[in-house]
Structures are given as structure tokens and as C-alpha cells.
Amino acid sequence: MVALMLVGVGVGAYGLGRMLLGYQPYVQAGENMSPTLAPNDRLVVREADGEEVHRGDVVLIEGGAYAADGQPGVSVVRVVGVAGDTVACCTDEHLSVNGKPLTEPYITPGYEGLFEFSAKVPEGTIFVEGDNRGNSDDSRFRGPVRLSGVTGFVVATGTVVTPDPLPAVTAFTDAGLPGAPLTDSALPTLRWFVAGGFVLFVAGFIGLIVTLVRNAGKRRKAAAVPPAH
């Protein structure tokens, strides 16, 4: 039973450790990602760790990552273009990537055609916009973002213990563009490690208590038996 408890501690510690090391908390500071993210929303950010960035990903970037300037700060934005893409606005009031108009149900309505532009995304960079197109300081004004400035992927709101995954985005693949956004499967798996470790520990602890109680009962019975004459 003690061995089961130790296994439970090990499994749970592994899951919790990976969660704490691989994910970081962040609080959304402004309205640039409304309605997907509201100001003061608690976010769960998965460390970038060199992972490939896809269209549709919601990412955390350093302010100095914008190619056009080196302003400090950190912000959350959505990737709408990767290296080699041509991002333009607007085709029938829709953002287009490589000439393919997007249907984006996640953006704040009414601002789709607010700012007309066309931009070719250079190698080693991405093109980002906020979901609140009418109130977002992003690549439309500051240029593309260096990939080295992407520090993480926003995978959920809430906390690592109680995450609420972001809704899946299919706008880009629906338009015929390759590369689906990141789907984080690691966090749910690690939560199962933590839960499983807890269950194993509790089972081992209960088993240990039952064993101790039984052994104590046997000793009392043995002590109550009168010696043979």
C-alpha cells in the first residue's frame, strides 16, 4: 500500500510539474481580442518552445517583436498570415489570405473593412491582428512579427487546473488554406496524470489504514485469548 501511495505521488508530481513548467498564466490587458478574450480574462499560455506557428493560432508576443519598431510590452493577437502569404483587406468586407476570403465568426462585427491594405509576409515573420479589428494595434500598423518574438500559444482561459479551451478555429482551413491551428492535447493529458496520481495515493492510503486496523484487531484478539494450562 505504501508503494501504491509512492507511485501516486510520483505520477501526480510528474503531471503537476509538467503543467507548471510548460504553461504560464497571463491576464488579458485590453479589448483588442474581444469578443474571444475580454479584458482581465485569465489565460493559460503554452510555452512556444520552437513550435511551428499556424494561421488561426492565438499567440503571446513581445512588443519588440514587431519588425517596424521596438516598443516594449506584451500582447495577445491572432495569427492571420505566415511567411509567404499575402494578407489583404478587403474582399466583400472579408479579410483575404492569398486571394481567399475568410469567414471569421470570432471577430467583433462591423469593423471588417475599416482599414484597407495588402501585405506580403516576409520569411521568419508572421502577420497578426486582434479579433477586435476596430481597436487593435497590430501588424496592419506595425508590420509583421518576428517568429522569435512569439513566446507562447494561448490555449485556454482560466487556470492550468481548471482550463476552458479556446474554441476551435476553422476559418483558414475552410477557405482552403493548409495548416490547422494548434490543438493542445498535452494539458488535458497532464491533468489526468494529476488526477490519477491523487486517486492512486488515496487508494493506497485507504488500503494502508484498513491493513493497520485489521492488524490491530488481530493483535487485540490474540491478547484476549487466555493462555493454555
- For 180-215, what is each residue's pLDDT tens digit? 887 776 666 655 555 555 555 566 566 657 666 776
Note whether 147 and 53 are within 8 A (CB): yes
For residues 29 and 12, what is the distance between their CA atoms, to the nearest angstrom? 33
**3-state class (DSSP) for residue 186:** helix
Indicate whether 52 and 140 sit together in one domain: yes
Name the more confident of 160 and 174.
Answer: 174
109 and 46 in a single domain? The answer is yes
Question: What's residue 144's pLDDT?
Answer: 93
| Cell of residue 67, nine digits | 519588425
Residue 227 lies in a domain: no
Say whether both 76 and 11 belong to one domain: no
What is the pLDDT averaged over residues 132-155?
91
Q: What is the pLDDT of residue 63?
A: 72
6 shares its domain with 90? no
Q: Quick one: pLDDT at residue 196?
A: 54
Single-letter code of the amino acid located at 219: R
CATH number for position 96 = 2.10.109.10
C-beta neighbour count of 156 within 10 angstroms? 20
Does 153 lie in the same domain as 51?
yes
Cα 69 versus chain centre, distance: 27
- What is the domain extent for residue 214? 1-22+185-222
DSSP 29-61: -SSTTTTTS-TT-EEEEEE-TTPPP-TT-EEEE
The one-character DSSP state at 177 is: -
Of 163 and 213, more confident: 163
Q: What is the spatial distance between Cα 98 and Cα 109, in angstroms, rounded to a whole number? A: 22
Domain count of the chain? 2
Q: Is 144 exposed, middle or buried (0-12, 13-18, 19+ CB in 10 A)?
A: buried
13 and 100 both lie in a single domain: no
pLDDT tens for 18-35 read 555 668 899 998 899 999
- Contact 65/127 with Cβ under 8 angstroms? no
pLDDT of residue 65: 84
Cite the DSSP H helix spans in the chain: 2-22, 139-142, 171-174, 186-224
Residues 152 and 197 in one domain: no
Domain presence at residue 110: yes
The answer on pLDDT for 51 being more than 90 is: no
